[in-house]
Amino acid sequence: MKICVAGAGYVGLSLAVMLSVKNSVKLLEINKERVDLVNQRRSPITDEYISRYLDTKTLDLVATDDPAQALKDAQIVLVATPTNYDPEENYFNVDSVVDVIKKAIKFAPEAQIVVKSTLPVGFIESARKEFDIINLHFSPEFLREGKALYDNLYPSRIIIGTDDEDFGRVYLDLLAESAEKSRDEIPELVIRPTEAESVKLFANTYLAMRVAFFNELDTYAATKGLSTRDIISGVCMDPRIGDFYNNPSFGYGGYCLPKDTKQLLANYRDVPSTMIRAIVDSNSVRKDFIAAEIVRKKPRTVGVFRLVMKSGSDNFRSSSIQGIMKRIKAKGISVVVYEPIMKEDSFFNSRVERDLEKFKSECDLIVANRMTDELKDVADKVYTRDLFASD
């Protein structure tokens, strides 16, 4: 099958690499540097499986920044471009998705278009009317940054939002046949596009709710002088609650959870609710608490250890530690950032240090969302709420 994948972020690139093992794939990307890297079989993002596949697999994959070339003869167009949350409009910015849809209509009018980018609820239905097309569908992605290809190869589920059940089966077959996981072990669901859009936002907001809940538990325990670890261990012995997504942090962050919770809240503007607003507000309150705890220690120089959200990721967009950093800087505390993947020498007017030993020696308090072996020799001056990461 001939497929065009638009967007070389972790969603689009992982799909392009996986599908190009058995299909002819063109990757459409506006960033020329990423185009060149993919064509050289080098990954422009940090993902072990993507790097391995590019290096060792025979892939029918060509990257280009030319939409006419990418979309020519395409039977399926997968749209995986960024939809960042716009706080001014209180909505996802879907301009990049709309742009690809327009190009697909122009250069591949017969192709089925499947949007993988996270969308506001109702987008597909309104876009179908705006562009007078029916071949537009939505499929939510459930991928982790740094492990996107692995999660596509071993999917937790595959969902397609479409009114065309025949195409729905074609899409499910396409992804399942390219996966390493056995087909009978992959839950599949064909539903309407608007319900599929809702699934994505509600799923991520539920995960954000779990993060917020255990963070508020930790805030309570810390304030009352109790053992957070003991309380969480006891609570999570209940199999209905489970022992996952329960490690206290500085707040949920990254590319998906902050924007998806805010987008879902925007969709609730004419629906009675209190919980969704509370989840969004809780994340801000948690950062206030963490920053106050750090300020109370009266440090002269605070070191922020890593801006990335998690191990194996190169993304520090909306990472929770940035909120902590901004709050303590507002109190006049000097901040130095250790982030070896950053090319810039400063971040929010704070110096970026790439020498770990120098970083450790010049900071009298080091703030780390997650503890790591790299900091064990200075554990006495590390501030973290991480309880379980090293277990």
Helix (H, G, I), strand (E, B) or coil at 316: coil
d(CA 290, CA 323): 10
Which residue do the tokens 């709050």 mark?
327
Q: Are 389 and 370 in contact (CB under 8 A)?
A: yes
Strand residues in the chain grouped as ranges (E): 2-6, 24-28, 61-64, 76-79, 85-86, 91-92, 112-115, 136-138, 158-161, 188-191, 301-305, 334-338, 346-347, 350-353, 365-367, 382-383
Helix (H, G, I), strand (E, B) or coil at 156: coil
* Catalytic one of 4, 236, 256, 363: 256
Query: With left for phi above 0 and alpha for psi between -120 and 50, is residue 237 left, alpha or beta?
Result: alpha
Instruction: With residue 376 as reference, give the H or E element that holds it.
Output: none
CA distances from 144 to 141, 158, 180, 253 (A): 9, 15, 17, 13
For β-strands 91-92 and 85-86, DSSP reports them as: antiparallel
Closest listed residue to residue 14, CA positions, set 144, 140, 148, 171: 148
d(CA 202, CA 4): 28
256 is catalytic: yes
d(CA 280, CA 274): 11
d(CA 29, CA 71): 12
As annotated, the active-site residues are 256
